[in-house]
Amino acid sequence: MKKNKCSFCGRDEDQVPVLLNGLDGFICSDCVEQANNVLKEIRPHSKQASGPKDFSKLKPIDIKKHLDEYVIGQDDAKKSLAVAVYNHYKRISTQSDNNVEIEKSNIILVGETGTGKTLLAKTIAKFLDVPFAMVDATVLTEAGYVGEDIESLLVRLLQATDYNVERAEQGIVFIDEIDKIARKGDNPSITRDVSGEGVQQGLLKLLEGSVVNVPPQGGRKHPEQKMIAVDTKNILFICGGAFEGIQKIIARRLNTHTVGYGVKEKNQNIDKNNFLQYIAPQDLRSFGLIPEIIGRLPVLTHLNPLDRNALRSILTEPKNALIKQYIELFRIDGIELSFTDETYDFIVDKAIEYKLGARGLRSICEAIMLDVMFEYPSKNVKSLVIDKELAEKHFAQTELNHILNA
């Protein structure tokens, strides 16, 4: 009787662990594993990459319309982001005929916590279908100190593309908490500033655009590994930070001249509830960012604090609104979930009371819904209404309520 053989290595079926049958041949499990190892070696160096969307059809207005579906308000920040991103990818997808070199439009977003900085960056990267990496600046330190190297920003981007260098070189990096690496004073430090000025100096070459040797597994634990060269000239950097206390710097600058004609009238036109709308590059310098890094972040925009109407809209209107998520979760269990308007008002009131921003809405909703989500999947009910009385009862029993009122 003729035995089946592997079409690749030629061994009989009784000489291999498993022999897989195909249309016109066979392959053994050993050959499958060997082929998989070869693919793993080839894939990181693959140059086949799909770039961003076709910007000949996609305009800044289209980008903003998409952001409007997921982010409530913040029109100024959306316009700035849409124009900067559009110009950036137009710059790398076309060549200028006039020998004019167009520089990058890196962006810095300034806004209180929970106003949507991270959400804006994530939404725009997903919409453009480009690689996206989010890094917390608080973990970055100078080389030689405990923490992460500056190059770890690019490691995350490479990982997002399965180490496809060409695709990574057209990605977006969001550096969160950029304000945490500000130096403590307005004067340059004469000593080592482990997580402040030194990190800012290290970021300069990445923001401006240069070829950086990136250790694919992290630089400090595997010094013998082969480096990957990444050109950052086409990588868009978006920086975000709350810059706690910068309102005082802005207020001081706006009220510098306290004596003279017209001063009182000028001060009356200033909205003292939202000083961030008057932010200028010199305020970032006074806060502790070095002038070189401010110059490499030319697009400066702010996010407005969320008022009651904005928080109310965030609950229900976006495509991925919190309430829609809970309704979908219960729909999967066959339960029709609904909320009363008074419940929405209660959730918003608590978020404003505790100054938690949009993130606070999620925390409060989770506190209210915990017992409901625990009990009702096991009950034989078809519908459930969350009214204000039920919301108040569940929220009062939660650990979050005790912590916030401590």
Please give the full DSSP string across 200-211, using - where no structure is assigned: HHHHHHHHH--E
Query: Is residue 95 exposed (0-12), middle (13-18) or buried (19+ Cβ within 10 Å)?
Result: exposed
Q: Quick one: 166 and 224 in the same domain?
A: yes
Q: Could you tell me which residues come within 8 angstroms of residue 145 by beta carbon, excluding any fewer than 6 positions away?
A: 194, 195
DSSP-derived secondary structure letter, 261:
T
pLDDT digits (tens, 9 = 90+) for 302-344: 998 888 898 999 999 988 899 999 999 999 999 999 999 999 9
Structure-model confidence comparison of residues 399 and 265, the more confident one: 399
- Range of lowest pLDDT (37-41, 101-105, 179-183, 188-192): 188-192
Classify residue 270: in a domain, yes or no: yes
| Residues 270, 345 within the same domain | no
Residue pLDDT, tens place only, 146-171: 567 788 888 888 988 888 899 898 88
Query: Do 140 and 39 fall within a single domain?
Result: no
Tell me what pLDDT residue 337 has.
Answer: 95
pLDDT digits (tens, 9 = 90+) for 260-289: 555 555 566 787 778 888 999 999 999 989
Which two tokens mark 74?
């913040």
| CA–CA gap between residue 233 and residue 327 (Å, rounded) | 44
Cβ partners under 8 Å of residue 338, min gap 6? 327, 383, 384, 385, 386
pLDDT of the residue at 254: 86
Nearest Cα to 240, choosing from 196, 286, 180, 298?
A: 180
235 domain residue, yes or no: yes
Question: Residue 53: which residues within 8 A CB-CB, separation 6 or more?
Answer: 89, 128, 129
Q: Are residues 77 and 212 in the same domain?
A: yes
Same domain (yes/no): 189, 338: no
Domain tally, the chain: 3
What is the model's pLDDT at position 372? Answer: 92
Give the angle subtended at the CA of 355 by the CAs of 354 and 361, to the nearest 5°. Answer: 80
Q: Check whether residue 298 and residue 392 sit in a common domain.
A: no
Same structural domain for residues 108 and 256? Answer: yes
CATH value at residue 182: 3.40.50.300
The tokens for 256 are 């510098």
Range of lowest pLDDT (46-55, 160-169, 200-209, 244-253): 46-55
Do 228 and 330 belong together in one domain?
A: no
For residue 192, pLDDT beyond 50: no
In a domain, 278, yes or no: yes
Task: Mark which of 287, 302, 317 sits at the end of a domain.
Answer: 302
Which of residues 279, 302, 325 is at a domain's end? 302
pLDDT reading at 200 higher than 70: yes
Instruction: Indicate whether 106 and 250 sit together in one domain.
Output: yes
Q: Is residue 2 part of a domain?
A: no
**Residue 293 belongs to a domain:** yes
Domain housing 106:
60-302
Predicted local distance difference test score (pLDDT) of residue 262: 53
pLDDT tier at 399 (50, 70, 90 boundaries)? Answer: low
Q: What is the CA radius of gyration of the chain?
A: 27
CATH number, domain containing residue 398: 1.10.8.60
Is 55 domain-assigned?
Answer: no
Average pLDDT of the residues of the chain: 82
Residue 51: what pLDDT? 47
Q: Which residue has the higher pLDDT, 44 or 173?
A: 173
pTM: 0.72
Of 277, 302, 327, the position where a domain reaches its end is 302
Do 68 and 29 sit in the same domain of this protein? no
Same domain, 280 and 319: no
- 7 domain-assigned: no
Tell me which of 34-38, 111-115, 141-145 is least confident.
141-145
